[in-house]
Every structure is written in C-alpha cells, then in structure tokens.
Amino acid sequence: MSKRTELLCTAASLDELERLIAAGADAFVIGETRYGMRLAGEFSEAQIAAAVAMAKPRGVRIYVSINNLIENERLPELPGYIDTLAAAGVDAIVFGDPAVLMTVRASHPELGLHWNAEMTSTNYATANFWGRRGATRFVVARELNMDQIVEMKQHTELQVEVQVHGMTNIYHSKRYLLQSYADHNRTTKPADLPPGQLVTGKDQGLFLMEAERPEERFPIFEDSNGTHVMSSDDICMLENLHELLEAGIDSLKIDGFMKSTIYNETVVRAYRQAIDAYYADPAGYQFDEAALEPIQALQDPDRELSFGFFYKEQVY
C-alpha cells in the first residue's frame, strides 16, 4: 500500500503536544504569532526545539508556520529564524509569502515547504506552479468542495493537505477593528465601555452576531497580525473520512485553535481510530456512528458540527 495518510494537528503547548502524540497525531503545525497566523499557542525557538526532541523519537513530524502576510520590516530576521528552525530539526515550513519560499530555497533546500495561502489555494494548476518553485505540499482552501479536492489530488504530484476538523478563518484585516470600536464607543458613550475594559485577545471569548443570523456566533479577536473573524461552525468530517482516504489525500488536519486540550485529545483519538480502522480493511470499512459521541459530548452547544464546504455548491 502507498504511504498512509497523515493525521496532522496543532498544539497550544508542549504539554498538549505530548498528549496529542499519545492520542495518535502523526504531525504538528506550531510556531509563534510573530511569524505565523492563528496558531493554537506560542512556541518560542527553544520550545520548537523541545517539540522536535519530543516528536522525532516517536516518528512524529514538526512543521513550523511562517505564513504571515510579511512586511518589509520583518524580512531581515527571516533567514536567521529559518536557520534556527533547520538546526532544531523541523521537517517543514508552512508559507504563504514568496519571500519565505525564496529564503528557504536559498539556505535550506532540504526542508519541506507547505504552501498555505488559506483562502486562495483554489486550483491544481496554481498548486503545481508553487510546486515547480519548490513547494512540497499544498494546503487546500477550506472553501472548496469534495469533488474539487479529489480532482486536485489527481492533477498534482504535491502532497495535499485538507482540514477535516475545527474552525476556520473567514476574515482577516490588518486593522485593529475591536480597538477601533472600543475607541469609538468610548468617545460616543463613555458609560458603555470604561477605558481598558475591552480585552481583545483570542482567549477572551468575544464574538460577533450578524443581525439576520441570531443562531450563529462568530469568534473575533486581535493579535499583532490584525483582526481575525472565525467561522461559527466547526468542520467535522469524521463521518465521511473514508472519502478523503480513498482519494489518497496525504494529510488530514485537525485544527485545535481555540479548543481545550481535552477536546482536542478526544477529536484526535476519534480520527486516529477511524483512519486505523480504514487501513485495517479499506474495502470493508464502515463508519461507526458511536465514534462521534465523545466529540459531541464536548462540543460547544453554540457551535454546530458541519461538513463545511465539502458538499456545497457556491455561486458567484
């Protein structure tokens, strides 16, 4: 049989990383906000080295995210950061900006390069373009459907990564929209928001509600990369995982962003079992409904588990 599909996870800390390895993760994306976007937690260079030391002996791979939208000011420190990561023994760099691609190619061609431009990685010809420039994997936009994903895999030599669980980003601005709103509010109605009261980080639980959609809550937060709005539902493809496995997708990602370790552990375990059951007998594989129950038990009741865009047709 060809290479097995990888179960890729995020980790908020070394502790979570260790627990998710035990739960069955094959690989991790980690990093720090200075270079990477919307990470589950912050890993300093030393912590990345510790993560590699923890993962390597167990055959687990570590990828580091440098997929920020990069401005001139950040360029000078990129080569040094990449040197450090290479020395630590990471397996791949996740990038969106060509500046990162060029830097890695010039100094560390041995590193894997995962192209993740989020919403804009939408067709196989573009994936192959980045492949010819040195990318080894591409991360499919979350807004594609199953047919498009399967077709992509058939038309590229690159590894294909698909997010199968968790929330997704739906809006990213460089503007500090929460801070702006607080400032605006303070000048018009000082009573609403005494100074300093609106704390805007990702752990604050702030969310938006759109007037016509009272059922949905869209998490919103700010960090040094600007303002991020997240989906109101969590993708959960456990039920139909075999479709992706049959298509030969190389990596299935569980994004544990904004989730507790216990939740992530439960999710990783469920996907691990499904993948293992599939490989034990691909022809006879049947999804076990009961596998969803532990996830449902921990699922935030305000957040629906959905198939994302996997079975949708979009118009434009």
Q: Can you say whether residue 118 is alpha, beta or left, with left for phi > 0 and alpha for psi between -120 and 50 degrees?
A: left
Each residue 273-302 as x (binds another protein by CB under 8 A) or -, in order, gives: ------------------------------
User: Does 206 sit near another protein (CB under 8 A)?
Assistant: yes
Binding of residue 232 to another protein (CB under 8 A):
yes
Interaction with another protein in 131-150: which residues (CB under 8 A)?
141-144, 148
Q: How far is the CB of 16 from another protein (least distance, A)?
A: 23
Q: Tokens in use for 207?
A: 């969310």
Nearest-angstrom CA–CA distance, 123 and 28: 25
Tokens 């270079």 belong to which residue? 35
By CB under 8 A, tell whether 95 contacts another protein: no
Q: Which stretch binds another protein (CB under 8 A): 54-62, 83-91, 228-236, 282-290?
A: 228-236
Per rule CB under 8 A, is residue 86 in the interface with another protein?
no
- Residue 264 C-beta: closest distance to another protein, Å: 21
Per rule CB under 8 A, is residue 307 in the interface with another protein? no
C-alpha to C-alpha distances, 129 to 98, 136, 315, nearest whole angstrom? 12, 11, 26
Q: CA–CA separation, 199 vs 62, rounded Å?
A: 32
Instruction: Provide the mask over 157-196, with x wherever binding to another protein is found by CB under 8 A and - wherever it is not.
Output: ------------xxxxxxxxxxxxx-xxx-xxx--xx---
277: CB partners within 8 A, 6+ apart: 285, 288
Indicate the residue among 58 and 213 with the shorter CB distance to another protein.
213
Number of residues that bind another protein (CB under 8 A): 74
Q: Is residue 46 close enough to count as binding another protein by CB under 8 A?
A: no
Candidate segments 43-51, 83-91, 206-214, 243-251, binder of another protein by CB under 8 A: 206-214
Residues in the chain: 316
CA–CA dist 246, 239 (Å, integer)? 14
CB 93 within 8 A of CB 113: yes
CA distance 31 to 38: 10
Residue 209 binding another protein, by CB under 8 A: yes
Between residues 144 and 275, which has the closer beta carbon with respect to another protein? 144
The three-class DSSP label of residue 215 is coil
Check residue 58 for interaction with another protein (CB under 8 A). Answer: no
DSSP 4: P
> What tokens appear for 1 in the block?
């049989």
Q: Which residues contact 63 (CB under 8 A, 6 or more apart)?
A: 8, 27, 28, 29, 30, 90, 91, 92, 93, 94, 112, 114
- Quote the least distance from Cβ 283 to another protein, whole Å: 28
307 phi and psi angles, rounded to 5 deg: -90, 15
Choices 5-13, 42-50, 203-211, 241-249 (CB under 8 A): range interacting with another protein: 203-211
Selected from 107, 123, 136, 273, the binder of another protein by CB under 8 A is 123
| Binding flags for another protein, 61-80, as an x/- string (CB under 8 A) | --------xxxx-xx-----
User: Least Å distance between CB 279 and another protein?
Assistant: 28
